[in-house]
Amino acid sequence: MHELPSANLVGLITGLPLLGFLFHAFFGKLIITRMGNAVGKRVVGGLATALVFASFGVSLIIFSGLLSMEGEHKRAFASLIPFLSKPVAWIDIAGFKANFGALVDPLSILMCLIVTGIGGLIHLYATGYMAADKDYARFFTYMNLFIFFMLVLVLADNILLMFVGWEGVGLCSYLLISFWYEDTENSKAGNKAFIVNRVGDVGYALGIMAIFAFFGTLTFYTADGKGFLDAAIAGKAANGADFTAEIALVIGLLLFVGACGKSAQFPLHVWLPDAMAGPTPVSALIHAATMVTAGVVMLTRMSPIIVKSETVLLVVAVVGLFTAIFAATIALTQNDIKKVLAYSTVSQLGYMFLGCGAGAFGAGMFHVTTHAFFKALLFLGAGSVIHALHHEQDMRRMGGLSKKIKVTYLTMLAGWVAICGIPPFAGFWSKDEILGYAAGIHSFGMLIYAVGLITAALTAFYMSRLMWKTFWSDQRFDEAALGAHGHGGDSHDALHDHGNDAHSVHDAQPHSSGVKESPPSMLVPLVILAALSVVGGFIGTPFNNFFEHFLEPSIARSEAHHGVSFLTGAALGTIAAAIGIALAYTLYAKRRATGELLTEAQKAGNLLYQAPANLWYVDRFFYDLFVIRGGNIAVALWRVVDQNIIDGLVNAVAGITGLFSELFRRLQTGYIRAYALSMLTGVVLVVIALLWSAMRTMGK
């Protein structure tokens, strides 16, 4: 095992955001109060952003160190506590040991670069977007805490510590989704995300238990090759037993349940679209670039176990494929600009799972990387649109913005081309690589490939629809009236009917009218992300695939292979994207005035529209099953079991106790003569007992 020269710096990657969280939690609001609103917020937001970028800088140093190492030696171990050379024991009981340790390898450092790099840009964006929010310090407190937990998740050297980060990002997601908790819908969205993720976490927790039961350790790798992933690669458990496909099936499916919850795969996808209740920077950070990809990262880390079971691989692929096309159909019908991007995220996550299910974990992680570029860009661009329109999120009340907010438009144009999969933009390389591997899955490969191409065409269509309704169609809003009512009027509608960003700030004069471009703090991240969306895919081209070569030591070798050649796949993928774009143009070009394909009357009578518009009735089914029927069962159990049986038993015990107490209470009168009589009675009874005993003895 080669030494990593910069290993002592690893703890700073997590330590710097943690320092930001602690500082802002205790002093953030005080600084804003003492230094004044404008200056104090610049200090708080600037420090929060600087610490995340500093963590990115440390990650770059570690990354350069890994590049200098060769092949299988790109793996090192360090402490998550800053400046310590060795991990510190966290749990050490009866042979079970877990450390505050970091596994430094290509997978963990790749994710550190994504989390801190994209996260830093989103922090910078948020300094402008949230500038007038009354809870500015609390917002950045949560954001820094999220970055910390996400870094713990990706750096942990054991699956138990990974679970701590896993639950930590779940907590932060809840706090940020329901950030504007005064609104009931926002609070409900936060609760929904928290509860649905707990369902998935049950599977993850059981998977951890199964790993410990079979391997006797929860550490991924060790320097002496005694980690459970070392054992899985060798095909042996700690006691020498064979690691069979049946054991891999149990562990793999349990972990997959956890991944479905965190990464919003069907049927546990229902929380993510509602999570748009959070501020737009939260949507970009948590629900596009980082947290929702945690399931893909976990499966990739567990790839030595996953590849041992063809059944698990097939389940992952099928669920991912179904989720991709399922969410894409819903995105076709959404009118809230953030909801379109939310269902797009669910769909793109399905692509990532499809890559993992094909055994192409490197391709899946490549799409994680490119998706972080263009989806964060699209979410932040959507926030810039919302900013310009003073809280409006309904695309039916947009249009004509391409000439009014040109920087936002041009950057979103780059994100649109990237997600559509047009060469040579970033999304083209990663999407086509996944589809190429998917075509090689057993006898189902070409069917899966065909469905994947259809999904790609749907993606191009709904994203073109978004661009058309937002930028290319005729203006459908009264510019003079924008912002005239501050946080009332349209902002109230935006909050309760169409979106959730009515609380966010938009410029230095939030009550002025007209469309205004975003401030530099918001535009700079858009420009950088747009550039990454254009050129970011070149790190993983099939001609010189630096990305997968770098990632090889972190993923298991599998039988994955391309079912179609690169040129054929590239041509078919591009044609699918072109069909989606052309179809959107054909259908919407003649409807510039309304931006609508169907009238409200036509929508009402069209089942093909109503089914996806109503989310294929999955949310309604869950609400009926768990909230209504489950609530009725809970009420019945409360009345029968809790009130009658449990409360009745407790009340009966209390009644009997009270009865005996009442009887014995009469002996405690407080009068000396009563106590003397009691003592005399006792003495007489004792004497009688002694005499009786003596008489019986003499009689014998």
At 309-348, the pLDDT tens digits run 999 999 999 999 999 999 999 999 999 999 999 999 999 9
- Whether 557 shows a pLDDT value over 90: the answer reads no
Tokens of 539: 């790190």
Whether 544 and 654 map to the same domain: the answer is no
For residue 254, the SS3 value is helix
372 neighbors 491 (Cβ within 8 angstroms): no
Tokens of 691: 């005499």
Question: Cα separation of 128 and 121, whole Å?
Answer: 12
Amino acid at residue number 359: G
Whether 201 and 164 map to the same domain: the answer is no
Give the DSSP per-residue string, 535-553. HGGGGG-TTS-HHHHHHGG
Our measurement of the distance from residue 257's CA atom to the centroid of its chain's CA atoms, rounded to an integer in Å, reads 14
Per the prediction, the chain carries an average pLDDT of 89
Whether 679 and 547 map to the same domain: the answer is no
Mean pLDDT of 447-471: 95
Whether 673 and 529 map to the same domain: the answer is no
Tokens of 14: 């997590």
Supply the pTM of this predicted model: 0.88
Whether 150 and 202 map to the same domain: the answer is no
- Whether 694 shows a pLDDT value over 50: the answer reads yes
Residue 665's domain spans which residues?
638-699
- Whether 508 shows a pLDDT value over 50: the answer reads no
Residue 64: which of 17, 113, 100, 16 has the closest Cα?
A: 113
Q: Beta strands 96-104 and 76-79: pairing type?
A: antiparallel
Q: CA torsion sign, 302 to 308 to 309 to 314?
A: positive
529 neighbors 523 (Cβ within 8 angstroms): no
Q: Which residue has better confidence, 150 or 183?
A: 150
Residues in contact with 600: Cβ distance below 8 Å, sequence separation at least 6, in sequence order: none
Question: Cα separation of 116 and 240, whole Å?
Answer: 41
Asked if the structure places residue 626 within a domain, the reply is no
Whether 244 and 351 map to the same domain: the answer is yes
Whether 141 and 257 map to the same domain: the answer is no
For residue 90, the SS3 value is strand
Whether 538 and 649 map to the same domain: the answer is no
HSE at residue 514, side-chain half, CA atoms within 13 A, is 8
- Whether 509 shows a pLDDT value over 80: the answer reads no
Whether 315 and 408 map to the same domain: the answer is yes
Whether 170 and 200 map to the same domain: the answer is no
Question: Cα separation of 460 and 457, whole Å?
Answer: 5
- Whether 428 shows a pLDDT value over 80: the answer reads yes
Question: Cα separation of 392 and 501, whole Å?
Answer: 8
294 neighbors 263 (Cβ within 8 angstroms): yes
Residue 498: which of 585, 608, 391, 598 has the closest Cα?
A: 391
Residue with tokens 């819908």: 185
Instruction: Give the dihedral of Cα atoms 461, 463, 464, 468; nearest 10 deg.
Output: 130
450 neighbors 606 (Cβ within 8 angstroms): no
Mean pLDDT of 616-633: 91
Mean pLDDT of 555-565: 85
Asked if the structure places residue 623 within a domain, the reply is no
Asked if the structure places residue 607 within a domain, the reply is yes
Q: How many other CB atoms are there within 10 angstroms of residue 542's CB atom?
A: 16
Whether 108 and 255 map to the same domain: the answer is no
Whether 294 and 322 map to the same domain: the answer is yes
Asked if the structure places residue 629 within a domain, the reply is no
pLDDT of residue 544: 81
